[in-house]
Amino acid sequence: MYGCYYIESCHLDSWLHLALTLGIEELILATNSMVPKYNFPLSLLSGKSGNSIRYLRLSFCIFRPTVRLGCFKSLKKLHLYCVGISGDELGYLLPVSVALEQLELAYCNEIICLKIPHVLQRLSCLDVAACHNLQMIKSEAPNLSSLCFEWFHHHVHTSLGEALHVKKLQMLCFRDFYYVQLPTIMPNLEALTIDSICQIASIPSVHSKFCSLKYLNICVPGEVPEVRVKYGLFSGDPSHPRQMPEHRYVKLKRAKIIGFYPAKSLLELASHVLETATSLECLTLDTTYCSCGRRHSDPAKCYLVAIKRYFEGKVPSTARLDVEGPCSGVRPNDRRWQGFTVFDGRS
């Protein structure tokens, strides 16, 4: 790996030529984001130059292939951060990178449609973050196992085929999240994380298309509006909860909801997990980022008390329900609340 700091752009061409001639395996190029972007000289990649590169990371530069480059047959990791490259230009690079295992794109705002060809048989990890003009991801790579998507201003349509090998999916949304934004069927998905900075407009019941799910994490916004408390439960008391599609999640072992507060939809979701996850070991409700840390004169206004009253008697004997987060409405020497365990069905 070659590294050089504070080098002037006029010397970069000669430095890159030397590095490529020496047969480097890792090339990391990060120019100053405050100056005009450096235009990567593609002429340096002619012939066999670049054949040895296994890891390529470019930041704050322009990279515009106009023909297929035959020098990236050994490339395993490609990371592009704030790079000027279009989807069509990326299309000249990906089909020849047959050894590629990881692809990470962030702030590449010229990409509108990302197409990943079937020839990328070894591609297992795909991470796409904050590409603001991206509208579609169409992947034919057959062996993807880990996906991470971050959307900012709009929903990006994803077409991943049957995604038979995907085991890990992370989705971070800087806007309202809707369940329909989840990608297509993933029968072997084991870990699902949904994080919405704005709000989760429709709390998902984990659909049967995720029948192998083992770990579920849902993060709701930390800013919770003031809600009215009545008899220890919050407004929208789900005395008659809505019925969700019946499906047994026989492999789900651990689930966690971050930013939890006793709203009707969240209580229904937690109840659904407890009722249908037959192998569940622990469901964690994390109230750390909500407002329950404020001091209340009435203990009935405490989130933990409300949660305990709702779930007591509903936890299976093989599972445990934990609540994490500070709560001044609970006496710290009360053994019932040590470790923030609201109710342990196994005790």
Condensed to tens digits (0 to 9), the pLDDT of residues 116-128 reads 999 999 999 999 9
User: In this structure, what token pair is assigned to residue 47?
Assistant: 């012939």
State residue 233's pLDDT score: 47
Q: Is residue 171 part of a domain?
A: no
CA distance 276 to 203: 16
Identify residue 127 by its one-letter amino acid code. Answer: D
Q: How confident is the model at residue 328 (pLDDT cuts 50, 70, 90)?
A: very low
Helix, strand or coil, per DSSP, at residue 339: helix
User: In this structure, what token pair is assigned to residue 13?
Assistant: 């061409």
Per the structure, the complete domain to which residue 321 belongs is given by 179-347
State residue 9's pLDDT score: 62
Of residues 166 and 50, more confidence is placed in 166
Whether the pLDDT of residue 326 is over 80: the answer is no
| Same structural domain, 192 and 138 | no
Specify the CATH number for the domain of residue 131.
Answer: 3.80.10
| Same structural domain, 223 and 152 | no
State residue 10's pLDDT score: 64
Whether the pLDDT of residue 201 is over 70: the answer is no
Query: What is the tally of structural domains in the chain?
Result: 2
Whether the pLDDT of residue 329 is over 60: the answer is no
CA distance 221 to 26: 39
Q: Is residue 166 part of a domain?
A: no
Phi, psi at residue 93, to the nearest 5°? -95, -45
Whether the pLDDT of residue 184 is over 80: the answer is no
State residue 101's pLDDT score: 98
**Helices and strands: H and E segment counts in the chain:** 4, 19
The whole-model pTM stands at 0.77
Q: Are 51 and 74 in contact (CB under 8 A)?
A: yes
Q: Are 12 and 40 in contact (CB under 8 A)?
A: no
State residue 246's pLDDT score: 60
| Same structural domain, 296 and 194 | yes
